[in-house]
Structure 1
Amino acid sequence: MRLGLVTPIVTRVPRAHSPWEAAAGPAELVRVAMAADKLGYEHLTCSEHIAIPVDMAAARGGTYWDPLSTFGFLAGQTDRIRFLTHVLVLGYHHPLEIAKRYGTLDRISNGRLTLGLGVGSLREEFDLLDAPFDERGARADDALRALRAAWGTAIPHYDGEYYRFDALVVDPQPSQQRVPLWIGGRTRRSLRRAVELGDGWAPFGLARHQLRELLDSVKLPTGFDVVLPAPPLDPAADPDAVVRTLASLADAGATVVNVALRAGSVEEYVQQLHTLAGLAGPAVGRP
């Protein structure tokens, strides 16, 4: 089981972030990223929303740094840590747009991209972008197939239900031979989508029995990742609770855990990274 970080600062959801993050900026973000990189954490996350309606921001939050810009900046400040979009909404983009922009990110980061992808649920944002909201699940499946077709050859061909392209050059290509695709969602269909078209599943908002029922309903491919969130952890104040939480997530089937940390400042956050690395051992430290 590997530990990735729910990156502070870049996404602020009410009741899920610490007050210090509101005044933090690129300098504090770099401190966190460089510390996590040196300690061997698996990845940093960044989510995607273009614009949140004011009446929904109280629940969803309104601060969402752009993942492509953020990760492009952090790629130059780090050496090993991976970059996970958690998640990029498929319906907001043409597959070739994702292929070009994130293929370039994978190239400049020397193969450190993990692409987390989701179907999306905020109709108002779809409408803002003139993106079809209906049939978005079927469109997402087609987009995933098209994205796979777009990577691996500079002149890709694809002829699907919603997307078609041919005789076009898409260059640069990613550094990785196969960029991992982790599919977000909380439904049986999202898990099937992940098993059939992706490399991992990143569920949210599921009770333990619901998660177990879904995972038991399918045969997971070899090397398939199950990416589970941890509640906010406080390694300094309650290390035993942290160890129990991580063990419980491993028992639930997690191969990767997305960790959020309690802290009152960037200095305390970095110290928490060190403390958690000491507790988690091989889950964090990679050769």
Structure 2
Amino acid sequence: MRIGIVSPVLIQHPLTRAAWETSAGIAEVAEIAAAADRLGYHHVTCSEHIAVPTDIATERGGTYWDPLATLGFLAARTSRIRLVTQVLVLGYHHPLEIAKRYGTLDRVSDGRVTLGLGVGSLREEFDLLGAPFEGRGARADDALRALRAALGKPTPEYHGEFYDFEDIVVEPHAMQQHLPLWIGGRTPRSLRRAVELGDGWVPFGLRLDDLTAMLAKHPVPAGMEIVLSAGRALDPAGSPDAALRALTRLRDAGATVASVTVDATSSTHYCDQLAALEQLARPLGIEFD
């Protein structure tokens, strides 16, 4: 198992953000990403919402940094850590748009992009963008197939139910010939979609017991990433035993990647906590690059 960082600051959820994040910016995020890079953590993340209705923002937050701009900035300040969209909403984009933009990011980051992708659930945002909400699952499946046909290829071709293209050039294109696709979701359908069309599954909003049962019912192929959240922020310096228990539970549940955040009072403290977590986790056999 490896450990990836759910980047602080980039999502301002009223129930989970720490006080210091309210006034922090890209300098603090870059400081944390650079520390995670030096310590050998697997990845940093950036999620996507384009425009959240004000009443919904009150509940789930309205601040979501743009993944392409943010991860491009972080790519220039790191050298090894992977850059993960967690997640892009497939229905908001044409597959070639994703292939071109994130293929370019893969090129400038020397092949470090992982695309976390989801079907999406916020109808109001779909309506605002003029994207069809009904039938979005079938469209997402076709988009995933189109993406796989396009990523890493200068002259992609695909003929599907919703997307169709040939005789085109996409340059620059992704450096990775098989750029990893992680599928987000919380339903058995999302897990089946990940098994059929992706390289990893990133569930959210589910209890660990439910995740374990779902994985037992739908075995995954060898090499597929299972990215499980540690839930509450870990405090490796202040509560090391609790942090160890959380990581052990994820490993025993089948996680190949643990997705964590840490309890901190500033970006500097966050970096210190990452160092403490790395020292704590190595004896468990958790891998750091």
| TM-score, L = length of structure 2 | 0.97
Give per-residue Cα distances to partners, 1:166-191, cap 9 Å, x unaligned. Answer: 11111112111211100000101100
d(CA) in 2 for partners of 1:49 and 1:9? 14
- Aligned match of 1:285: 288
Is 1:39–1:284's contact at 8 Å kept on the other side of the alignment?
no
Q: What does residue range 192-271 of structure 1 map to in structure 2 within 5 Å?
A: 192-230=192-230, 231-271=232-272
Helix, strand or coil for the counterpart of 1:263? coil
Q: What is the CA distance between 1:221 and its match in structure 2?
A: 1.3
Letter in 1 for 2:170: V
Is 2:236–2:243's contact at 8 Å kept on the other side of the alignment?
yes
Helix, strand or coil for the counterpart of 1:84? strand
Q: What is the CA distance between 1:154 and its match in structure 2?
A: 1.4
- Aligned match of 1:91: 91
- Aligned match of 1:116: 116
Pair 1:128-2:128 in alignment: yes
Count of aligned pairs between the two proteins: 286
Helix, strand or coil for the counterpart of 1:12? coil
Is 2:235–2:263's contact at 8 Å kept on the other side of the alignment?
yes
Q: What is the CA distance between 1:283 and its match in structure 2?
A: 2.3
- Aligned match of 2:6: 6
Q: What is the CA distance between 1:101 and its match in structure 2?
A: 0.3
Is 1:146–1:163's contact at 8 Å kept on the other side of the alignment?
yes
Is 2:152–2:179's contact at 8 Å kept on the other side of the alignment?
no
Helix, strand or coil for the counterpart of 1:3? strand
Letter in 2 for 1:248: R
Helix, strand or coil for the counterpart of 1:37? helix
Q: Percent identity?
A: 62
- Aligned match of 1:19: 19
Q: What is the CA distance between 1:284 and its match in structure 2?
A: 4.8
Q: What is the CA distance between 1:153 and its match in structure 2?
A: 2.5
d(CA) in 1 for partners of 2:194 and 2:255? 15
Give per-residue Cα distances to partners, 1:120-150, cap 9 Å, x unaligned. Answer: 0001110111000000000000000000111
For structure 1, the 5+ residue unaligned runs are none
Letter in 1 for 2:122: L
Runs of 4+ in 1 over 4 A off after TM superposition: none
Helix, strand or coil for the counterpart of 1:116? strand
Q: What is the CA distance between 1:210 and its match in structure 2?
A: 1.8
d(CA) in 2 for partners of 1:215 and 1:200? 12
Helix, strand or coil for the counterpart of 2:115? strand
Q: What is the CA distance between 1:5 and its match in structure 2?
A: 0.3
Give per-residue Cα distances to partners, 1:5-60, cap 9 Å, x unaligned. Answer: 01011111112110101111121111111111000000000000001111011211
d(CA) in 2 for partners of 1:160 and 1:67? 27
- Aligned match of 1:186: 186
- Aligned match of 1:61: 61
Helix, strand or coil for the counterpart of 1:148? helix
Is 2:9–2:24's contact at 8 Å kept on the other side of the alignment?
yes
Give per-residue Cα distances to partners, 1:83-109, cap 9 Å, x unaligned. Answer: 010000000000000000000000000
Q: What is the CA distance between 1:211 and its match in structure 2?
A: 1.1
d(CA) in 2 for partners of 1:208 and 1:76? 36
Letter in 1 for 2:272: Q
Helix, strand or coil for the counterpart of 2:194? helix
Is 1:277–1:284's contact at 8 Å kept on the other side of the alignment?
no
For structure 2, the 5+ residue unaligned runs are none
Q: Comparing 59-68 with 277-286, which one deviates more in the overlay?
A: 277-286
Helix, strand or coil for the counterpart of 2:3? strand
Q: What is the CA distance between 1:265 and its match in structure 2?
A: 1.0
Is 2:85–2:116's contact at 8 Å kept on the other side of the alignment?
yes
Helix, strand or coil for the counterpart of 2:4? strand
d(CA) in 1 for partners of 2:175 and 2:61? 34
Helix, strand or coil for the counterpart of 2:233? coil
Letter in 1 for 2:44: L
Letter in 2 for 1:208: L
d(CA) in 1 for partners of 2:36 and 2:287? 9
Pair 1:150-2:150 in alignment: yes
Letter in 1 for 2:250: L
d(CA) in 2 for partners of 1:223 and 1:276? 25
Aligned-residue CA RMSD in angstroms?
1.0
